[in-house]
Every structure is written in C-alpha cells, then in structure tokens.
Amino acid sequence: MKLHPETKAIRTQVSRSGEREHSVPVYLTSSFTFDSAEQARALFANEIEGNIYSRYSNPNTDEFIAKICQLEGAEDGLAAASGMAAIFGCLAGLLKQGDHVLASRSLFGSSHQILSQILPKWGISFTYADALKTEEWASLVKPNTKVLFLETPSNPGLDIIDLEWACSFAKEHNLISIIDNCFATPVLQRPIEFGADLVQHSATKYIDGQGRAIGGVIVGRKNLIDEIRFFMRHTGPSLSPFNSWLFSKSLETLSIRIEKHCDNAEKIADYLDNHSSVMSVRYPFHHTHPQQELAKKQMERGGGVVCFEPKGGLEKAVQIMDKLTLLSRSANLGDTRTIVTHPATTTHSKLTEEERNAVGISPGLIRIAVGLENANDIIADLDQALGT
C-alpha cells in the first residue's frame, strides 16, 4: 500500500519490545547485549546490522530518523543532541583544512559563529552570499569551495532562496548543498525534491513542537551521511533515547500542528498589516512579501513565523515586548505557545549592527513565532501591547 507522508509519520515503528505495546517504549539503555562472541565480532566488523551502544544507535533514535527520512524523502539520516550539533557535525564531518564554504548571509545566529569563529581555527574559510542577490553567487565560488549552506525561509528575515535554482547551482559548481529546513519543516517544503544533498533541522522547534527538548537531525544522500556518521559516532553529540522518543511521537502530529500554525500566522499577518502602528509586516505567503511568488513555488504554505516592524523603532519595540501579558517573551520558536522575540537584542545580538542590517534585522524588528492558541486571543494581546 502506498502511504501518504503524514500516515508514514504516524505508523512507522522500527522496534517492538515483545510486550504487545501500542506506543513504542523508551529504550533507556546505554548498551546492548550480544547473543554470542561471533555476533559481537560481526556487529563490530559491520558485517551485520544491529545496536551496540547508544552513542552509535538506539531503537528510539532509529525510529525518529526513519520517520524524518520518510517525510523529507531522504535515503538516510543522523540525529544529534541539538540543531547546532547537527550543523557542526555536518560541516566538520565533510570538510577538511583548506576547504571553503559558501553560505547565505541570512543564517541562524550560532551558524554565523561556527562559520566565522570556529571553523577558521581549523583552516576552513567561508564567504557570505546575499540571499537576495543570487546572480552574484557564481563569482563567490572558489576552487576550494566544497559546500553551499543556506536557510530558507531565513531566521528571522524570512528571505526566500529559490531551492530549485540553488540546488542546480550547487551541482553545476560541484558543491554539496546543505539546507536548513527548520522554519518550513517537511510538511511545507522538501528541499530534496529540488535536488538538495543534505537537509538539516533543529528538532527543538516545530518537530518537538511543544518547547520541551533540544535536538537536531540531518538527512540526505547516503554516502554523505556515512561520512558525517563517522564524525558523529566518534565525537559523540548523539541524541538521547528519551529525546528521540519525544521527537518521534511529536512527528505523529506535525502535519496537523503545522496547518494550525499557518492558519494562525496568516490571521496575525493580516491583523498587523492593517494596524496603524505597524510600519511593515513580513510573512512568506502575504501580499506584502516581495518574494511571495517564489515562496508559493516551493512551499505549501507560509509557516508559523511572522515578523513586523512597529512605527517608532527600537523604543516602541521594547514597549510592545514589555506590555505583552499572554504571549511569551522568549527566544524559542515552533512551540504551541506563541513566543515573541526581539532579535536585535537577543538571538542576533552577537552580530554587528552592520551585519544585522545586511540581513534585514532592523532595531525595531519583532519576531512572532505564532503558536496554537485561538488566533483571536493572540491578536487581543498584540492589540493591547501595540496601542494606537
């Protein structure tokens, strides 16, 4: 029977304990036993498949990876202790001294730190490419460029990069394409369908969806995953069995949660667009977004994040943040609870003002990670905070 992705995300179960349980148990075990000395030898020699030690694999982690691979249409994958562990593991596993990374400038804050402060310690250099000036990218490729790393929609600017174009650009220049698909999730966007080599997620966000656990995952071409697996296994940023179990269960509700995040976000974007204290609104599927057409070409819907800039800049933004009574002031996203963030003073405060401006993070920009509350209640809190 050919199953739809959301059905696969619900029905996939890699392991059963033998107790006829319906929900998969948590395999809280650091190691696994061998039936014989010969079986142990064969497992270590990679002649047979099986669990040895939970830093390498665990039934809960395998189930989580199997589900996300099905949703993304990927051959293979690896789970990591955080989204950043997935990104670092991927870059460190694939690159060596002397290699160069071409990266979109519109990246998550800690991704900037890895590229600009950490990888250079090992002789790996990078160049930023402007997400909105892709015609310049070809001139930024060097003979030693090995990876193209980008995020679309970007955090928090919500810039969109044409995935079909970017993946064929990467192939043409012999680069490994790595896409951070955290904001869209596979429900809304599947980069592998456009030719991406690797897709990475912070599972902390929509995959968990309930603000409980930190984790990450990377999926894609098997030969690349094998290379990264060597690095991950021996350096140890593995995902715990319990967090794997949480994420695997969460994937069962991902598609229905994302639909509601999108329903609510569309309403919030319309509300903000019509408010007299709001200077500008950003939401991928909103008529005010300059790349609305491109977003609609590669995404099913616009996602759960809406950004806006109030009239009155930083001072007004701070006022709005402080007046919220229902919505959370926090730095996460993808939670059931709406979270409001001021990127310039929090998530992106490590960037210089010039760097922030280059990716559209103005001093007054506010990011709303729209949750699953009744949209009217979210709007009511924003309304009293925005004032007139």
Ligand X SMILES: *Cc1c(COP(=O)(O)O)cnc(C)c1O
Whole-angstrom distance, CA of residue 315 vs CA of residue 311: 10
Nearer to ligand X, 228 or 385 (CB): 228
Among 51, 60, 189, 202, binds ligand X (CB under 6 A): 202
Query: How many Å apart are CA 149 and CA 147, to the nearest integer?
Result: 6
- Contacts for 7 with CB less than 8 Å, ≥ 6 apart: none
Instruction: Write the interaction track for ligand X spanning residues 118-157; mark x where CB under 6 A is met and - where it is not.
Output: ---------------------------------x---x--
> Does residue 205 touch ligand X according to CB under 6 A?
yes
End-to-end CA separation in angstroms for the chain: 56
Is 238 a binding residue for ligand X by CB under 6 A? The answer is no
Preceding peptide of 363 cis, ω within 30°: no
Residue 240 near ligand X by CB under 6 A: no
HSE, side-chain direction, 13 A CA sphere, residue 54: 17
Q: Does 84 bind ligand X (CB under 6 A)?
A: yes
CB of 51 to ligand X, least distance (A): 25
Cα separation, 298 vs 163, whole angstroms: 7
Conformation bin of residue 220: beta by default, left when phi > 0, alpha when psi is -120 to 50: left
Min dist. Cβ of residue 129 to ligand X (A): 17
Coil vs helix vs strand at 227 = helix
Q: Which one of residues 59, 83, 93, 343 is an interface residue with ligand X (CB under 6 A)?
A: 83
Return the number of the residue (89 or 386) whose C-beta is nearest ligand X: 89
CB 278 within 8 A of CB 310: yes
Burial profile 206-242: b = 16 or more Cβ within 10 angstroms, e = fewer: bbbbebebbbbbbbbbeebbeebbebbbeeebbbbbe
**What residues from 212 to 231 belong to the interface with ligand X (CB under 6 A)?**
214, 216
Smallest separation, CB 180 to ligand X (Å): 5
Residue 302 interacting with ligand X (CB under 6 A): no
Q: Does 108 contact ligand X by CB under 6 A?
A: yes
Q: Per DSSP, what are the bridge partners of residue 229?
A: none
Examine residue 208 and tell whether it contacts ligand X (CB under 6 A).
no
Per-residue x/- mask for ligand X, residues 153 to 192, rule CB under 6 A? Answer: --x------------------------x-xx---------
**Closer to ligand X by Cβ: residue 183 or 245:** 183
- Minimum CB separation from ligand X for residue 201, in Å? 8
**Bridge partners for 100 per DSSP:** 125, 145
Count of residues touching ligand X (by CB under 6 A): 15
- Using Cβ positions, the residue closest to ligand X within the complex turns out to be 83
Q: Which of helix, strand or coil describes residue 201?
A: strand
Residues that bind ligand X (CB under 6 A): 82-84, 108, 110, 151, 155, 180, 182-183, 202, 204-205, 214, 216
